[in-house]
Structure 1
Amino acid sequence: MTFIWTLALILFFTKVAGDLSVRLGQPSVLGKLLIGIILGPAVLGWVQNDEFVHYLSEIGVLLLMFLAGLETDLDQLKRNWKSAFAVAIGGIILPFIGGYGAAAAFGLDTSFALFMGVVFSATSVSISVQVLKDMDRLNSREGTTILGAAVVDDVLVVILLAVMMSLLGGDTETSIGLLIGKKAIFFVAVAAAGWLIVPWFMKLLGKMKVTEPVVTTALVVCLGFSYFAEIMGMAGIIGAFAAGLAISQTDVRDKVEHKIEPIAYAVFVPVFFVSIGLNVSFDGVLSQIGFVVVLTLAAVVTKLLGGALGARLTGFNTRSSFAIGSGMISRGEVALIIAAAGLESKLLAQEYFTSVVIAVIVTTLVAPPLLKAFLSQGKKETTDNK
């Protein structure tokens, strides 16, 4: 029954930490991430990243991205597709160079250094989504560009990872053509399903004489899209986001959002935030502190500048460009999954795994206050100009 106590601790302390963070002028998500480090093995050791926490956190991030899809203005997303693509490209090239350069500077061999570049090319905007939602900016030009860039980034980094594992990891069975083909099939399939099947499915099952048929059907669509994304080599969060976009075009959008948001934020999303911090361990870090600092600085600066450059070249002003760049900084669970895959395929040395995890966690902690600062500055400028 210890899992009940674990859940009670997580739910209580995430709310307290989130409240304290807001009172100190920071996004609530920053406090929730930090409390994960404090409750976890790195400090108090009260909560472990066990199977129970892992599965709840997986559901949490899927629901978070599903709600983001529900709230996204699809027309705005379509209008900003060029910016999203440019931001994704800039946010891959510079971090790849930065990750490779930092690793090479500390004497890692070429294959390890190249893989480090791939790890820090990744982006996870699930944390940025929470900041955008808190500030009511999810449907702003900046918000939709960040979301669109995250989708493009996920596709390109997965392909880059496959190429790297094929060339350096001994995975000769990986076909790049097949990999790209699966991505294309995914997008065609979810677009067709979202347009033709989801509205019909929601209407059909929504008529069932049972409790909350519409909400349950929406969750089935979310989880089904997420599972399909996973088997097609995509991150599950992309499938959840696509499911949210599909349901946002139906007449039950508001009902679904109103019902699912309390479920997500009462239980599952807090566990996801805490799970990020649970990955931190300080064992053996002191011997690599210089490497951790350089790697973290490279990860933050290159993603910020790469994303900002892509946004600036496609018409955003300087402040908005840096807001978009800061929204792309977090590597989150995506980079952790890539790092684990690299460890298994011998592309990442065991002795550097903890350092990489800490650098990933720091990028996730840095993103929320930076994004809030740039968005708040823009809001103040707008107010001053009225």
Structure 2
Amino acid sequence: MPHEGSLLQAAVVFLFAAVLAVPLAKRLQLGAVIGYLIAGVIIGPAVLGLIGNPQSVAHISELGVVLLLFIIGLELSPKRLWVMRKSVFGVGLAQVLVTGVVIGATALFAFGQPLNTAVVLGLGLALSSTAFGLQSLAERKELNAPHGRLAFAILLFQDIAAIPLIAMVPLLAGAGHDASSGNSLTHGLQVLGVIAIVVIGGRYLLRPVFRIVARTKLQEVSTATALLVVIGTAWLMDLVGVSMALGAFLAGLLLADSEYRHEIESQIEPFKGLLLGLFFISVGMGANISLLFSTPVTVIGLTLLLIALKLPLLFIVGRLAGGLGKQSALRLGLVLAAGGEFAFVVFKIGRDQGLFEARLYDLLVLTITLSMAVTPLLLLAMARWLKGKTVAREVPEEYRDIESDNPRVVIAGMGRMGQIVARILRAQNISFVALDTSVETIEFTRSFGNAPVFYGDPLRPEILRAAKVDQAEFFVIATDDPDANIKTAELVRKLYPHMKIIARARNRQHVHRLMDVDAQAIRETFYSSLEMTRRTLVGLGLSQAQADARISRFKRHDEKVLNAQHLIYDDAVKVKQNALEARKELAELFEADRLDEEAAKN
């Protein structure tokens, strides 16, 4: 079977491998990245050999990382980057230096590598995978978590640090001593010139270009322009030997405040996803799997050693320099413990310059690839381990001491609904006490003023007594857990029979359960849905009065149906029959209203 004869054949192989491997990996909760890596290994020369030359797709796949960094730059702004300067240049620098020194010293003393080789090994392995780390955080919706934000800052610094490291490798290899100073000066001027072109172009030229393109109203031209900006910037940077990804990040950063930012991002996003997947497939293809079978102890040992060195160091940096808690620091360590894609570039230059033997280079590439593959498994294991443990933060004493002065209202749950209730009560100078079991929520609420929000589980009778529920007029249950709301309503009704209870309900079934304990149920999306419908009716041509009349009619009818169904809600057959009859009745009522309106006009 021909391996490289057809571009279409290669495209089919890549897409087919991704379609099979990625959903399977996701189903096994391993994440998309490990699916792409497995797909690359299977179709690569080490297994099926469907793609004989992994290097043939390496340059195209690197565009995935380029587009990722461009979108990251778009989502930032120079102001936000300035705010993050301590995390980027403080914590990021500390991580690279500390990790580089420890790994370099290990290579120097434990493995007997020459000093210049040990330096390149240490700094190269100190880098983590930007694509892998950010993709893993995004899959787990942790990009905005404390460890996610710090991981992004560290990865950003690593991308910046990769530039001087790549330039330093030939010097450490002893190449070009005679004209090193002149070449360095020329190269430095070229880099500055290209950066100046990117900055000036991004600031003064790109906006008029996008304005002209937007006026054409041609989607394909807009997409082509967005791709031209990213790939053109990456090409300019590559010409002077600077990281393409960093150039793309700089272009994105310059367009972060542009009015066309969201349009550009929407155009680039599909290409980014596909090419990033191709990047991970190419990583899997490039791994020399035969080494895993010929010297399994060496390969697995090096992989475990890399993670065992980086993870504790990242944990310490996260705790001491980043101010993270223990669990957040551990998550940071796991996400960044693997090797990075820039290490492939650094080590390839090192091999070409004679710093590494071909076998050592293959071992390093396989070690980095395996470390990427192991990381999702470690993240999954940690998530399951933490699931069975108490992960709540330590509660400060001032949150536990419930201070209440004859509250008229007690609120259980200070999420979206509870906060709105509290804000209105406070504006009316109505005394209340709020309870929540999330330290983060309490901290956030108190940060806007000295709100009477305290730590406490409303399902504990002693907490209710401490909140002086017996002196309150209303008990508002607003937590996001329907079962907990029902249990809380049942407990409050049992302990305080005369209490007026208003409780948040997820659906009609929960409404019935709350009605059983004489609580007034408020469906959490009912009124917002009515408002959306009212605005839709007005937009479709009804007058304001007609739309209001339809919504009022629906509300009255729905309340009537809900009360009727409360008597039979345990019988699914009767509820279904009642719903069908109610739907027919509502249509008849709307038709009667329409006829009355027409008669009134005539």
Range of TM-score over shorter length: 0.7 to 0.9
Instruction: Quote the offset at 1:342 in angstroms.
Output: 0.6
Instruction: Quote the offset at 1:203 in angstroms.
Output: 1.9
User: Counterpart in 1 of 2:29?
Assistant: 25
1:13 corresponds to 2:21 = no
Corresponding residue to 1:309 among 316, 329, 333: 316
CA contact (8 A) 2:143 2:149 kept: yes
C-alpha distance in 2, partners of 1:143/1:202?
A: 32
User: Counterpart in 1 of 2:265?
Assistant: 257
Instruction: Quote the offset at 1:99 in angstroms.
Output: 4.3
C-alpha distance in 2, partners of 1:254/1:225?
A: 19
Q: Give SS of 2:156's match.
A: helix
Corresponding residue to 2:307 among 294, 300, 321: 300
User: Counterpart in 2 of 1:34?
Assistant: 38
Q: 1:140/1:215 Cα in 2 relative to 1: closer, same or farther (>3 Å)?
A: farther
Q: Considering Cα pairs closer than 8 Å and 6+ residues apart, tell me whether 1 or 2 has the greater RCO.
A: 1
User: Counterpart in 1 of 2:133?
Assistant: 128
1:249-284 Cα shifts (integer Å, max 9, x gaps): 22222222223322333x433222210101111345
Give ranges in structure 1 of 5+ residues lacking alignment.
none
CA contact (8 A) 2:39 2:281 kept: yes
C-alpha distance in 2, partners of 1:347/1:234?
A: 21
CA contact (8 A) 2:315 2:330 kept: yes
The number of equivalent residue pairs is: 384
CA contact (8 A) 1:77 1:145 kept: no
1:334 corresponds to 2:345 = no
Describe how 1:108-123 pairs up with structure 2 within 5 A.
108-123=113-128
1:362 corresponds to 2:370 = yes
CA contact (8 A) 2:37 2:283 kept: yes
The one-letter code of the counterpart of 2:60 is L
User: Counterpart in 1 of 2:278?
Assistant: 271
C-alpha distance in 1, partners of 2:73/2:381?
A: 24
Instruction: Quote the offset at 1:46 in angstroms.
Output: 2.0
The one-letter code of the counterpart of 2:315 is A
User: Counterpart in 2 of 1:227?
Assistant: 235
Instruction: Quote the offset at 1:352 in angstroms.
Output: 1.2
User: Counterpart in 2 of 1:155?
Assistant: 160
CA contact (8 A) 2:165 2:346 kept: no
Q: Specify which structure has the higher proportion of helix.
A: 1
Corresponding residue to 1:212 among 183, 201, 220: 220
C-alpha distance in 1, partners of 2:334/2:367?
A: 16
Corresponding residue to 2:49 among 45, 53, 61: 45
Q: 1:282/1:30 Cα in 2 relative to 1: closer, same or farther (>3 Å)?
A: closer
CA contact (8 A) 2:116 2:172 kept: no
The one-letter code of the counterpart of 1:343 is R
Q: 1:186/1:46 Cα in 2 relative to 1: closer, same or farther (>3 Å)?
A: same
Instruction: Quote the offset at 1:224 in angstroms.
Output: 2.1
Q: Give SS of 2:126's match.
A: coil
Task: Give me the TM-score of the superposition, normalised by structure 1.
Answer: 0.84
| 270-279 or 328-337, which deviates more | 328-337
| 78-87 or 344-353, which deviates more | 78-87
Instruction: Quote the offset at 1:43 in angstroms.
Output: 2.1
Q: 1:145/1:182 Cα in 2 relative to 1: closer, same or farther (>3 Å)?
A: farther
The one-letter code of the counterpart of 1:37 is V
C-alpha distance in 2, partners of 1:343/1:301?
A: 25
1:179-207 Cα shifts (integer Å, max 9, x gaps): 67766666666455444443333223433
Task: Give me the TM-score of the superposition, normalised by structure 2.
Answer: 0.56
C-alpha distance in 2, partners of 1:92/1:117?
A: 9
Q: Give SS of 2:215's match.
A: coil
The one-letter code of the counterpart of 2:275 is F
User: Counterpart in 2 of 1:85?
Assistant: 89
Q: Give SS of 1:120's match.
A: helix
Corresponding residue to 1:351 among 359, 371, 376: 359
CA contact (8 A) 1:83 1:311 kept: no
Give ranges in structure 2 of 5+ residues lacking alignment.
394-414, 416-436, 442-602
User: Counterpart in 1 of 2:489?
Assistant: none
Instruction: Quote the offset at 1:36 in angstroms.
Output: 1.0
User: Counterpart in 2 of 1:59?
Assistant: 63
The one-letter code of the counterpart of 1:366 is V
Compute the RMSD of aligned alpha carbons: 3.3
Q: 1:81/1:316 Cα in 2 relative to 1: closer, same or farther (>3 Å)?
A: farther
CA contact (8 A) 1:281 1:354 kept: yes
